[in-house]
Structure 1
């Protein structure tokens, strides 16, 4: 019985990691570091990619102005239900791939995002999917827009440098596992 439960737990954990890239929700410290460089007085549209259970979403909503919009992308049906449980008129929950960011920004009546907060596990997603998502992000970010990405591996830096100038890198040790946070702006010479 013990062996069977251990195998089930291992399979469940493998599934969780392959879907979300993590075994635990983001810590408060990681969430606060992710949004620390965003000027919420100037942001009217924020997009969160891979919102999961809404851990970071809730901190974004706390900081946003009353007339701002937050569009969150998530593909896991269980997480979508959790996100839909967050009651805030400024929140738009999208059950779709981040590849379709342009479509959903247009549906919200906007053309550019002021900030994109990405929790996508880009080191484990297919490379062509990641490149497509990052390219779309550069197209929808305004001139002064910020792209923020967290990952558990520094391998992400090289991927991001193709599309963005990394303005700041932080290591959040008070997270399981510790995570890197990159604050970026769109490269001017793409």
Structure 2
């Protein structure tokens, strides 16, 4: 189910708070958040790199956003950054279902996220439970948690800084 306008607004407000030159989106799905990130990036001359692993959703995103680079797997972020001539990103928006992943994959993804974020970079991560809070607090110096009840299902949006 696509994200509600309340959650999309919360996410884009948090992205804007980090004033990014480069934004990465993991788990773009149907592109509801992608659309607002794209608008933000175009208005602020920022670069947006979008990742979606599902082939059908990725094809749909490529049709909806032909001007955006859409990549297949978040694990490829370091390689993609190298190909794009980038070393780090300022903001990562992540909607991947971390609680469903094996611990090893979670650790891999957290390592990639943390290592590719700039020193002032931010992770904006939305989940449908608060269970990732402890893992995020172990990695990031600052973790804010916002509850979005007007979303189906209700969501938690984390704002994490190194």
TM-score, with normalisation over the residues of structure 1?
0.79
Partner of residue 140, structure 2: 164
Supply the distance in 2 between the matched residues of 1:76 and 1:36 (Cα, whole angstroms).
Answer: 27
Supply the distance in 1 between the matched residues of 2:63 and 2:112 (Cα, whole angstroms).
Answer: 28
Asked if 1:34 corresponds to 2:19, the answer is: no
Identify unmatched segments of 5+ residues in structure 2: none
Cα offset, 1:32, TM superposition = 1.3
Greater Rg by CA: 1
Equivalent runs, 1:34-73 vs 2, <5 Å: 34-39=11-16, 42-65=19-42, 67-73=45-51
Supply the distance in 2 between the matched residues of 1:33 and 1:51 (Cα, whole angstroms).
Answer: 16
**SS of 2:20 mapped into structure 1:** coil
Identify unmatched segments of 5+ residues in structure 1: 1-23
| 1:135/1:163 contact within 8 Å kept | no
CA RMSD in angstroms comes to 1.7
Cα offsets for 1:35-90 (capped at 9, x unmatched): 2122379422100011111110001111114532111111101110111012353x
Partner of residue 123, structure 1: 99
TM-score, with normalisation over the residues of structure 2?
0.92
Partner of residue 89, structure 2: 113
Asked if 1:135 corresponds to 2:134, the answer is: no
Over 4 Å off, 4+ runs: none
Supply the distance in 1 between the matched residues of 2:17 and 2:132 (Cα, whole angstroms).
Answer: 26
**SS of 2:134 mapped into structure 1:** helix
Supply the distance in 1 between the matched residues of 2:129 and 2:141 (Cα, whole angstroms).
Answer: 18
Cα offset, 1:104, TM superposition = 0.8
| 2:18/2:90 contact within 8 Å kept | no
